[in-house]
Amino acid sequence: MDDIHRSPDVSRAMRANLPVVALESTVITHGLPRPQNLQLARDMERAVRDEGATAATVAFLDGQLHIGLNENELERLANEKEPHKVGPRDFATVIVEEACGGTTVAGTMLACKHAGIKVFATGGIGGVHRESSFDVSADLQALATIPMIVVCAGAKAILDLPATLEYLETMNVPVVGFGTDNFPAFYSRESGLDVSVKIDTPEDVVEFARAHWVARLHSAVLVANPVPTGEAISKSEMEPLIEKASKEAKEKGIHGQEVTPFLLQRINELTKGKSMRANLSLLLNNARLAAQIARAWRTSERRKVA
Protein backbone atom coordinates (compact mmCIF):
# COMPACT_ATOMS: atom_id res chain seq x y z
CA MET A 1 0.00 0.00 0.00
CA ASP A 2 1.29 3.43 -0.93
CA ASP A 3 -1.28 5.55 0.92
CA ILE A 4 -0.16 4.97 4.53
CA HIS A 5 -0.01 7.82 7.03
CA ARG A 6 2.64 7.24 9.68
CA SER A 7 2.55 9.49 12.72
CA PRO A 8 5.66 11.62 13.34
CA ASP A 9 6.58 9.47 16.38
CA VAL A 10 6.31 6.22 14.42
CA SER A 11 8.21 7.67 11.45
CA ARG A 12 11.04 8.85 13.71
CA ALA A 13 11.26 5.51 15.53
CA MET A 14 11.35 3.49 12.32
CA ARG A 15 13.98 5.73 10.73
CA ALA A 16 16.15 5.38 13.83
CA ASN A 17 15.53 1.61 14.06
CA LEU A 18 13.92 1.98 17.50
CA PRO A 19 11.34 -0.48 18.93
CA VAL A 20 7.75 -0.06 17.72
CA VAL A 21 4.64 -1.93 18.88
CA ALA A 22 1.46 -2.01 16.82
CA LEU A 23 -1.89 -1.86 18.63
CA GLU A 24 -5.22 -2.83 17.08
CA SER A 25 -8.20 -0.50 17.27
CA THR A 26 -11.40 -2.59 17.15
CA VAL A 27 -11.11 -2.72 20.92
CA ILE A 28 -11.60 1.07 20.76
CA THR A 29 -14.37 1.13 18.13
CA HIS A 30 -16.25 -2.08 18.96
CA GLY A 31 -14.81 -3.72 22.07
CA LEU A 32 -15.42 -1.27 24.90
CA PRO A 33 -18.10 1.29 25.75
CA ARG A 34 -17.37 5.03 25.96
CA PRO A 35 -15.48 6.53 27.74
CA GLN A 36 -13.56 3.38 28.76
CA ASN A 37 -12.50 2.86 25.15
CA LEU A 38 -10.56 6.12 24.93
CA GLN A 39 -9.00 5.69 28.37
CA LEU A 40 -7.89 2.17 27.43
CA ALA A 41 -6.35 3.43 24.19
CA ARG A 42 -4.35 6.04 26.10
CA ASP A 43 -3.34 3.54 28.79
CA MET A 44 -2.11 0.97 26.26
CA GLU A 45 0.01 3.54 24.47
CA ARG A 46 1.41 4.71 27.81
CA ALA A 47 2.22 1.10 28.80
CA VAL A 48 4.21 0.67 25.58
CA ARG A 49 6.06 3.97 26.08
CA ASP A 50 6.85 3.15 29.71
CA GLU A 51 8.68 0.04 28.48
CA GLY A 52 10.81 2.08 26.07
CA ALA A 53 8.99 1.50 22.78
CA THR A 54 6.86 3.61 20.44
CA ALA A 55 3.14 2.83 20.27
CA ALA A 56 1.55 2.61 16.82
CA THR A 57 -2.23 2.38 17.13
CA VAL A 58 -3.54 1.31 13.71
CA ALA A 59 -6.85 2.59 12.30
CA PHE A 60 -8.57 4.07 9.25
CA LEU A 61 -9.57 7.73 9.21
CA ASP A 62 -11.33 9.17 6.14
CA GLY A 63 -10.28 6.17 4.10
CA GLN A 64 -6.59 6.50 4.91
CA LEU A 65 -4.65 3.88 6.84
CA HIS A 66 -2.97 5.44 9.87
CA ILE A 67 -0.01 3.82 11.63
CA GLY A 68 0.05 5.75 14.88
CA LEU A 69 -2.57 8.26 16.04
CA ASN A 70 -2.20 11.57 17.83
CA GLU A 71 -4.46 12.54 20.75
CA ASN A 72 -7.07 14.27 18.55
CA GLU A 73 -7.21 11.28 16.20
CA LEU A 74 -7.58 8.86 19.10
CA GLU A 75 -10.46 10.92 20.50
CA ARG A 76 -12.11 11.09 17.10
CA LEU A 77 -11.86 7.33 16.58
CA ALA A 78 -13.19 6.58 20.06
CA ASN A 79 -16.25 8.77 19.42
CA GLU A 80 -17.08 7.78 15.82
CA LYS A 81 -20.81 6.98 15.60
CA GLU A 82 -20.70 4.23 12.97
CA PRO A 83 -17.10 3.06 12.54
CA HIS A 84 -16.31 0.08 10.33
CA LYS A 85 -14.84 -3.09 11.77
CA VAL A 86 -11.93 -3.48 9.37
CA GLY A 87 -10.47 -6.86 8.53
CA PRO A 88 -8.38 -7.43 5.39
CA ARG A 89 -11.46 -7.91 3.18
CA ASP A 90 -12.75 -4.48 4.29
CA PHE A 91 -9.72 -2.37 3.34
CA ALA A 92 -11.07 -1.57 -0.13
CA THR A 93 -14.50 -0.68 1.30
CA VAL A 94 -13.22 1.89 3.78
CA ILE A 95 -10.77 3.33 1.24
CA VAL A 96 -13.45 3.76 -1.44
CA GLU A 97 -16.01 5.13 1.03
CA GLU A 98 -13.38 7.35 2.70
CA ALA A 99 -14.67 5.93 5.97
CA CYS A 100 -13.33 5.49 9.50
CA GLY A 101 -12.83 2.21 11.27
CA GLY A 102 -10.96 0.10 13.78
CA THR A 103 -8.67 -2.63 12.51
CA THR A 104 -9.11 -6.20 13.72
CA VAL A 105 -6.19 -8.48 14.58
CA ALA A 106 -6.03 -9.60 10.93
CA GLY A 107 -6.46 -6.04 9.64
CA THR A 108 -3.72 -4.75 11.93
CA MET A 109 -1.38 -7.55 10.88
CA LEU A 110 -1.92 -6.68 7.21
CA ALA A 111 -1.16 -3.03 7.99
CA CYS A 112 2.01 -4.10 9.85
CA LYS A 113 3.09 -6.17 6.85
CA HIS A 114 2.89 -3.06 4.66
CA ALA A 115 4.50 -0.81 7.28
CA GLY A 116 7.35 -3.12 8.29
CA ILE A 117 6.37 -3.53 11.98
CA LYS A 118 7.31 -6.89 13.53
CA VAL A 119 5.62 -6.81 16.98
CA PHE A 120 1.93 -6.43 17.74
CA ALA A 121 -0.11 -6.54 20.97
CA THR A 122 -3.79 -7.40 21.19
CA GLY A 123 -6.22 -8.82 23.75
CA GLY A 124 -7.37 -12.19 22.45
CA ILE A 125 -7.22 -13.50 18.90
CA GLY A 126 -10.30 -14.63 16.98
CA GLY A 127 -10.69 -18.27 16.06
CA VAL A 128 -13.18 -21.02 15.33
CA HIS A 129 -16.64 -20.23 16.71
CA ARG A 130 -18.50 -22.67 18.93
CA GLU A 131 -21.78 -22.21 17.07
CA SER A 132 -20.36 -23.24 13.70
CA SER A 133 -17.03 -24.74 12.69
CA PHE A 134 -17.45 -22.91 9.37
CA ASP A 135 -17.32 -19.55 11.18
CA VAL A 136 -13.57 -19.05 11.31
CA SER A 137 -11.97 -15.68 12.05
CA ALA A 138 -9.72 -14.12 9.40
CA ASP A 139 -7.25 -13.67 12.29
CA LEU A 140 -6.20 -17.30 11.85
CA GLN A 141 -5.38 -16.91 8.17
CA ALA A 142 -3.37 -13.78 8.95
CA LEU A 143 -1.43 -15.64 11.62
CA ALA A 144 -0.73 -18.39 9.09
CA THR A 145 0.65 -16.05 6.43
CA ILE A 146 2.19 -12.92 8.01
CA PRO A 147 5.54 -13.35 9.80
CA MET A 148 5.47 -11.25 12.95
CA ILE A 149 5.29 -11.66 16.72
CA VAL A 150 1.74 -11.34 18.07
CA VAL A 151 1.23 -11.04 21.83
CA CYS A 152 -2.22 -12.04 23.14
CA ALA A 153 -3.92 -13.57 26.17
CA GLY A 154 -4.86 -16.63 24.13
CA ALA A 155 -8.01 -16.76 22.05
CA LYS A 156 -11.28 -15.21 23.19
CA ALA A 157 -12.88 -17.63 25.66
CA ILE A 158 -16.20 -17.51 23.78
CA LEU A 159 -14.58 -19.54 20.96
CA ASP A 160 -13.95 -23.23 20.37
CA LEU A 161 -10.44 -23.27 21.80
CA PRO A 162 -9.45 -26.86 20.88
CA ALA A 163 -10.54 -26.28 17.25
CA THR A 164 -8.71 -22.95 17.17
CA LEU A 165 -5.47 -24.56 18.36
CA GLU A 166 -5.91 -27.39 15.84
CA TYR A 167 -6.20 -24.82 13.05
CA LEU A 168 -3.05 -23.04 14.23
CA GLU A 169 -1.17 -26.34 14.35
CA THR A 170 -2.31 -27.25 10.83
CA MET A 171 -1.13 -23.85 9.55
CA ASN A 172 2.28 -24.15 11.27
CA VAL A 173 1.71 -21.29 13.72
CA PRO A 174 3.75 -21.92 16.89
CA VAL A 175 1.90 -21.02 20.09
CA VAL A 176 4.42 -19.84 22.67
CA GLY A 177 3.28 -19.91 26.29
CA PHE A 178 4.97 -16.98 28.01
CA GLY A 179 5.92 -18.48 31.37
CA THR A 180 3.25 -21.19 31.03
CA ASP A 181 2.72 -24.64 29.52
CA ASN A 182 -1.04 -24.04 29.39
CA PHE A 183 -2.86 -22.07 26.70
CA PRO A 184 -4.57 -19.10 28.41
CA ALA A 185 -8.30 -18.62 27.85
CA PHE A 186 -8.52 -14.83 27.81
CA TYR A 187 -10.27 -14.18 31.16
CA SER A 188 -8.71 -17.34 32.63
CA ARG A 189 -5.05 -18.19 33.01
CA GLU A 190 -5.58 -21.79 31.94
CA SER A 191 -7.72 -23.63 29.40
CA GLY A 192 -6.47 -27.16 30.03
CA LEU A 193 -4.87 -27.13 26.56
CA ASP A 194 -1.15 -27.26 25.80
CA VAL A 195 0.96 -24.64 24.05
CA SER A 196 3.67 -25.56 21.51
CA VAL A 197 6.52 -24.41 23.73
CA LYS A 198 7.06 -22.54 26.99
CA ILE A 199 9.39 -19.51 26.89
CA ASP A 200 10.22 -17.31 29.87
CA THR A 201 11.95 -14.15 28.58
CA PRO A 202 11.42 -11.58 25.81
CA GLU A 203 14.94 -12.28 24.53
CA ASP A 204 14.17 -15.98 24.15
CA VAL A 205 10.93 -15.15 22.31
CA VAL A 206 12.98 -13.16 19.79
CA GLU A 207 15.53 -15.98 19.41
CA PHE A 208 12.69 -18.47 18.86
CA ALA A 209 11.00 -16.24 16.26
CA ARG A 210 14.25 -15.82 14.34
CA ALA A 211 14.80 -19.59 14.31
CA HIS A 212 11.23 -20.10 13.07
CA TRP A 213 11.72 -17.71 10.15
CA VAL A 214 15.25 -18.94 9.36
CA ALA A 215 13.59 -22.33 8.80
CA ARG A 216 11.73 -20.64 5.90
CA LEU A 217 8.37 -20.68 7.65
CA HIS A 218 6.23 -17.63 6.93
CA SER A 219 3.67 -17.77 9.73
CA ALA A 220 3.46 -15.57 12.80
CA VAL A 221 4.75 -16.53 16.23
CA LEU A 222 1.82 -16.30 18.64
CA VAL A 223 2.87 -15.42 22.19
CA ALA A 224 0.18 -16.41 24.70
CA ASN A 225 0.55 -14.26 27.82
CA PRO A 226 -1.83 -15.16 30.69
CA VAL A 227 -4.03 -12.50 32.27
CA PRO A 228 -2.48 -11.20 35.54
CA THR A 229 -3.40 -13.39 38.50
CA GLY A 230 -5.22 -10.64 40.41
CA GLU A 231 -7.80 -10.10 37.64
CA ALA A 232 -8.10 -13.67 36.36
CA ILE A 233 -11.46 -15.47 36.47
CA SER A 234 -11.47 -19.26 36.80
CA LYS A 235 -12.55 -21.35 33.84
CA SER A 236 -15.16 -23.09 35.99
CA GLU A 237 -16.78 -19.71 36.79
CA MET A 238 -16.65 -18.43 33.21
CA GLU A 239 -17.83 -21.46 31.26
CA PRO A 240 -21.51 -21.49 32.39
CA LEU A 241 -21.76 -17.74 31.70
CA ILE A 242 -20.27 -18.13 28.23
CA GLU A 243 -22.74 -20.93 27.49
CA LYS A 244 -25.63 -18.76 28.68
CA ALA A 245 -24.54 -15.77 26.57
CA SER A 246 -24.00 -17.99 23.51
CA LYS A 247 -27.49 -19.45 23.89
CA GLU A 248 -28.98 -15.96 24.10
CA ALA A 249 -27.11 -14.87 20.95
CA LYS A 250 -28.50 -17.84 19.07
CA GLU A 251 -32.04 -17.15 20.29
CA LYS A 252 -31.75 -13.51 19.18
CA GLY A 253 -30.47 -14.50 15.73
CA ILE A 254 -27.20 -12.64 16.19
CA HIS A 255 -24.52 -13.80 13.76
CA GLY A 256 -21.42 -12.78 11.79
CA GLN A 257 -19.39 -9.80 13.01
CA GLU A 258 -22.05 -8.94 15.60
CA VAL A 259 -21.57 -12.15 17.63
CA THR A 260 -18.32 -11.27 19.43
CA PRO A 261 -19.33 -7.74 20.58
CA PHE A 262 -22.68 -9.09 21.82
CA LEU A 263 -21.09 -11.95 23.76
CA LEU A 264 -18.41 -9.77 25.36
CA GLN A 265 -21.00 -7.20 26.47
CA ARG A 266 -23.40 -9.85 27.80
CA ILE A 267 -20.63 -11.65 29.67
CA ASN A 268 -19.60 -8.36 31.26
CA GLU A 269 -23.17 -7.94 32.48
CA LEU A 270 -23.32 -11.51 33.81
CA THR A 271 -19.99 -11.14 35.66
CA LYS A 272 -21.02 -7.73 37.05
CA GLY A 273 -18.00 -6.06 35.48
CA LYS A 274 -15.37 -8.65 36.43
CA SER A 275 -14.78 -9.67 32.81
CA MET A 276 -14.28 -6.03 31.81
CA ARG A 277 -11.63 -5.59 34.51
CA ALA A 278 -9.89 -8.77 33.36
CA ASN A 279 -10.03 -7.57 29.76
CA LEU A 280 -8.47 -4.19 30.59
CA SER A 281 -5.80 -5.84 32.73
CA LEU A 282 -4.74 -8.36 30.08
CA LEU A 283 -4.62 -5.70 27.36
CA LEU A 284 -2.18 -3.59 29.37
CA ASN A 285 -0.18 -6.67 30.34
CA ASN A 286 0.16 -7.65 26.68
CA ALA A 287 1.18 -4.13 25.66
CA ARG A 288 3.97 -4.16 28.23
CA LEU A 289 5.26 -7.57 27.15
CA ALA A 290 5.10 -6.63 23.46
CA ALA A 291 7.20 -3.53 24.16
CA GLN A 292 9.78 -5.65 25.97
CA ILE A 293 9.89 -8.05 23.01
CA ALA A 294 10.18 -5.14 20.55
CA ARG A 295 13.15 -3.82 22.53
CA ALA A 296 14.77 -7.25 22.51
CA TRP A 297 14.14 -7.51 18.76
CA ARG A 298 15.89 -4.20 18.05
CA THR A 299 18.80 -5.18 20.32
CA SER A 300 19.24 -8.41 18.38
CA GLU A 301 19.05 -6.48 15.09
CA ARG A 302 21.87 -4.20 16.20
CA ARG A 303 24.02 -7.16 17.26
CA LYS A 304 23.42 -8.79 13.89
CA VAL A 305 24.63 -5.65 12.07
CA ALA A 306 27.67 -5.35 14.33
CATH class of the 4-305 domain in this structure: alpha beta
- Annotation says 156 is catalytic: yes
Verify whether residue 274 is a known catalytic residue. no
Full-model pTM: 0.94
End-to-end CA distance of the chain: 32
Q: Per the residue annotation, which of 85, 118, 156, 274 is the catalytic one? A: 156
**Helices marked H in 100-234 — which ranges?**
105-115, 138-145, 161-170, 202-214
Q: What is the pLDDT of residues 109-135, one digit of tens each?
A: 999 999 999 999 999 999 998 876 778
Q: Which one is catalytic: 24, 45, 51, 231?
A: 24
**Cβ atoms 223, 202 nearer than 8 A:** no
Mean pLDDT, residues 44-57: 98
Distance (Å, whole) CA 55 – CA 263: 29
For the chain, the domains span: 4-305
Distance CA 228, CA 86 (A): 29
**How far is 212 from 262, CA to CA, in rounded Å?**
37
pLDDT at position 306: 54
Residue 41 confidence (pLDDT): 97
Ranked by mean pLDDT, the top range of 64-68, 130-134, 245-249 is 64-68
pLDDT at 1 over 80: no
Residue 96 pLDDT grade (very low, low, confident, very high; cuts 50, 70, 90): very high
